[in-house]
Amino acid sequence: MKPSRPWLAPLLSAIFFALFVGIWHLATLPTSAAVQVDPEYAALVGQAAATGTKSAMPTPGEVGAKLWEHFRDPFYDKGTNDKGIGTQLAFSIGRVLLGFSLAALVAVPLGFVIGMSPLIYKALDPFIQVLKPISPLAWMPLALYTIKDSDISAIFVIFICSLWPMLVNTAFGVANVRRDWLNVARTLEVSRLRTAFQVILPAAAPTIMTGMRISVGIAWLVIVAAEMLVGGTGIGYFVWNEWNNLSIANIISAILLIGLVGMLLDTLLARLARAVTYRE
């Protein structure tokens, strides 16, 4: 058996990152070649960038400087359209966690009921299969019309998109608990409630956590698009507002932070999933 090399993966990651930054830097170098451009595009990004004398895409150094500028004062508040990126991220994370928590309160108990009853599963499965593929953003116009509040509508969209992965995974995990464990509980005359909490829940917990992990990833994807539609506050609105200001460096900075927060949420739930996984 070959000795493990724990340093190899971080080294490869550093090499790939350096290659990515190097290619990015080379791609943003100014050129002197004459380029025929559309006048509307030139007016949008600037004549110098459009004709090739200056790249419309910011360099890694410019994005790094912009990130440092954001990190120096992430929570400032200078009005409706001028808030720090930390404040925008906090609003988005708050909406995601609230919608995700509400979905968990509905999906896990309902998934238990569906998984423990084949009859209820067959009765509800057609509704689940019809509603599950609907894009969460398709619910946004209906939510805005009925709720008449942009923040609550965004939370409702997160609730809808988080509901189905948790519901399906919970039902699957409960329905596939080993029969011999349930037979032992039945032989010992353990009550159904106690069986659910002491036998079924620990056995299905890894599958439930997998559903939660999928749900939070989808929720974080959706909130950015939802905030672009409803405006106000949030990292999605920040991206859209910076596009209106033609600040590509700010957009790339926000994209990097969106990815970082998504990775942290996924890592947290992955650790929780490993913590509840039974190991023989």
Give residue-wise pLDDT tens across range 10-49: 888 888 888 988 888 887 877 665 555 566 655 655 555 5
Map tokens 């404040």 to a residue.
87
d(CA 255, CA 56): 17
Q: Check residue 39 and give its pLDDT.
A: 64
Q: What is the pTM of this model?
A: 0.83
**Tell me, what DSSP letter sits at residue 279?**
-
| Neighbour count for residue 147 (Cβ, 10 Å) | 14
Give residue-wise pLDDT tens across range 101-115: 999 999 999 998 998
Q: Check residue 107 and give its pLDDT.
A: 94
CB 206 within 8 A of CB 215: no
CB 50 within 8 A of CB 236: no
Give 112-162 as a 3 state SS string: HHHHHCHHHHHHHHHHHHHHCCCCHHHHHHHHHHHHCCHHHHHHHHHHHHH
CB 239 within 8 A of CB 251: yes
Residue intervals of the chain classified under CATH 1.10.3720.10 are 85-275
Q: Check residue 58 and give its pLDDT.
A: 84
Decide: helix, strand or coil at residue 75: coil
Give residue-wise pLDDT tens across range 47-63: 555 555 566 678 888 88
Q: Check residue 135 and give its pLDDT.
A: 86
* Model confidence band, residue 1 (pLDDT cutoffs 50, 70, 90): very low
Fold of 85-275: MetI-like fold (1.10.3720)
Q: Secondary structure of the chain: what % helix, strand, coil (to 5)?
A: 75, 0, 20
Q: Check residue 34 and give its pLDDT.
A: 53
